[in-house]
Amino acid sequence: MPAQNAAPNFFNRNLAMKKTFALSLFIFAMGLLAAQPAEKNLPPDFPQFDFRPSARPDRILLACAEDPATAQTVIWRTDTSIREAYAEIARADPSPEFDEYERKFRAETKVLLNDFAVAAYHQATFTGLQPGALYAYRVGSGPYWSEWIQFRTAEAAFQPFSFIYMGDAQNDLYSHWARAIRAAYCRAPGAGFILHAGDLINHSQNDYEWGEWFEAGSFIHRSIPSIATPGNHEYIKDTLGNKIGLSPFWNAQFQFPDNGPPGLEGQCYYIDYQGARIISLNSNQDYEVQAEWLEKVLAGNPNRWAFVTFHHPVRSTSKDRQHQTVLSLWKPILDKHRVDLVLQGHDHAYGRGQNLETSPDSSDASSGTVYVVSVSGAKMYPLAEQPWMSRAAENTQLYQVVEVFMDHLIYRSYTTGGEVYDAFILLKRPGRPNEILPLPTDIQEERRFINTLVGPDER
């Protein structure tokens, strides 16, 4: 009978609705739990910032492409609701209607599950650009777009330029590194690129630390192209501290040229920028393969200048931290080809010296190569003074600006207060090693800097 059947049907339907509701509630709760930061991964001083992705593009970064005169790579992040993303670019003329002439590039999207959340990383490379031209770009999709951001492509041939070099950022990125990267930008807003010598963060899989790195650099990361080399802290480690592989964050957040040895794409690579070859080596692995590759890349360098970066220094600035393989395998190649600057990190102190060995039986006493170790973040190690150092410091956050000209370059290392702490001219001499000419500094050499503005009781 219809009346008798109605109750069970209603009951069944009601039960089904309750089950569906309960299931939805369970999924929602699980979603909420999944969206929460895993407490075990939080740094001890976690200030409860929310770096979770949304549909709006964030963590926008320009990465130097293989030919920065005609191409430019951009990477950004959203939540996973964005599966189709675009980058638009236009010549940046003074008219606000410049954006009527944009070109659109479809991004390649990767989904990255990290210890905080799931995020979508989008990468696009603008191609067919004019050398030495000012462009504006934006990234996004649907109603979610970034602002229009300006950058300038490199010239097709040699032209004077400058770049910024930052040693390890690594710790206290938001609270302490921000002042270093921002001071560097204010000093050289027209820099062609920013070179990061590894250990950009402390824990390779910690999304929160990457959030701080992007927050500290803010629009600088999206306005000046980056060149970065991986440090040991960009590696995932097992419970014994052994490196087991480069963090997936590296290839999700950066995209550098794939002209290096197979398996080291985006880690070991070179970029020819306006008359200079900039080479990144990954000093964490595969030393012999990279040595062979480096020999070829330096021998075939058509540019006037050669700058090499890797994380573990040829000569350490600290006690018991010498990397013997880098010293024995890579240094002879760097000296043989008279590389102009070798820009390194890892030791959390400052040291700069030319390759003028004190040992009388040294066969490479006159290559003229300048080796630098620098640190831009807050973590500091004691300095172990060594004969190779012409200038050194400890307990000092520094950034460097290098101005490159046809026959010489000017190198300056600055404190975060803007004082010149180290400076020299490197003079090119045809057929002979570079000559180094000291420049005046604002402050005398002081090995260990302490806060002298307040008394001990006030620190």
Which parts of this chain interact with Fe ion (CB under 5 A)? 199, 231-232, 346
Nearer Cβ to Fe ion (169/341)? 169
Please report how close the Cβ of residue 444 comes to Fe ion at its closest, in angstroms. 29
Nearer Cβ to Fe ion (162/204)? 204
Nearer Cβ to Fe ion (114/284)? 284
Contact status, residue 375 vs residue 350, Cβ threshold 8 Å: yes
Which residue, judged by CB position, is nearest to Fe ion in the bound state? 346
**Matching residue, tokens 């030495």:** 132
Q: How far from chain centre, in Å, is Cα 400? A: 15
Please report how close the Cβ of residue 170 comes to Fe ion at its closest, in angstroms. 7
Contact status, residue 61 vs residue 253, Cβ threshold 8 Å: yes
Please report how close the Cβ of residue 196 comes to Fe ion at its closest, in angstroms. 12
Please report how close the Cβ of residue 89 comes to Fe ion at its closest, in angstroms. 36
Q: What does the alpha-carbon distance between residue 250 and residue 228 come to, in Å, rounded to a whole number? A: 10
In one-letter notation, the amino acid at residue 103 is R
Please report how close the Cβ of residue 391 comes to Fe ion at its closest, in angstroms. 21
Residues forming a β-bridge with 233:
none
Please report how close the Cβ of residue 330 comes to Fe ion at its closest, in angstroms. 16
Please report how close the Cβ of residue 201 comes to Fe ion at its closest, in angstroms. 11
In one-letter notation, the amino acid at residue 227 is I
Return the structure tokens found at 394.
Answer: 């400890």
Q: Nearest to residue 180, comparing CAs of 398, 401, 389?
A: 398
| Beta-carbon count within 10 A of 63 CB | 24
Nearer Cβ to Fe ion (232/366)? 232
Nearer Cβ to Fe ion (277/346)? 346
**Matching residue, tokens 């670019």:** 89
Would you give the end-to-end CA distance of the chain in angstroms? 87
Q: What does the alpha-carbon distance between residue 427 and residue 138 come to, in Å, rounded to a whole number? A: 40
Nearer Cβ to Fe ion (107/314)? 314
**Matching residue, tokens 């959390």:** 348
Nearer Cβ to Fe ion (43/132)? 43
Please report how close the Cβ of residue 312 comes to Fe ion at its closest, in angstroms. 7
Nearer Cβ to Fe ion (54/232)? 232
Nearer Cβ to Fe ion (159/322)? 322
DSSP labels, 378-434: S--------TT-SEEEBS--EEEEEEE-SSEEEEEEEETTS-EEEEEEEEEETTEEE
Q: What does the alpha-carbon distance between residue 143 and residue 179 come to, in Å, rounded to a whole number? A: 33
Nearer Cβ to Fe ion (211/231)? 231
> What is each CA distance from 83 to 106, 139, 140, in whole angstroms?
11, 13, 11
Return the structure tokens found at 264.
Answer: 């080291």
Residues belonging to the chain: 459
Please report how close the Cβ of residue 199 comes to Fe ion at its closest, in angstroms. 4
CA atoms within 13 A on the CB side of 25: 6
In one-letter notation, the amino acid at residue 351 is G
Please report how close the Cβ of residue 311 comes to Fe ion at its closest, in angstroms. 6
DSSP labels, 227-290: EE---GGGEEE-TTS-EEEE-HHHHHH------SSTT-TTTSEEEEETTEEEEE--TTS-HHHH
Task: Kindly state the helix (H) or strand (E) to which residue 141 belongs, with its residue range.
Answer: strand 134-141
Nearer Cβ to Fe ion (122/346)? 346
Please report how close the Cβ of residue 244 comes to Fe ion at its closest, in angstroms. 17
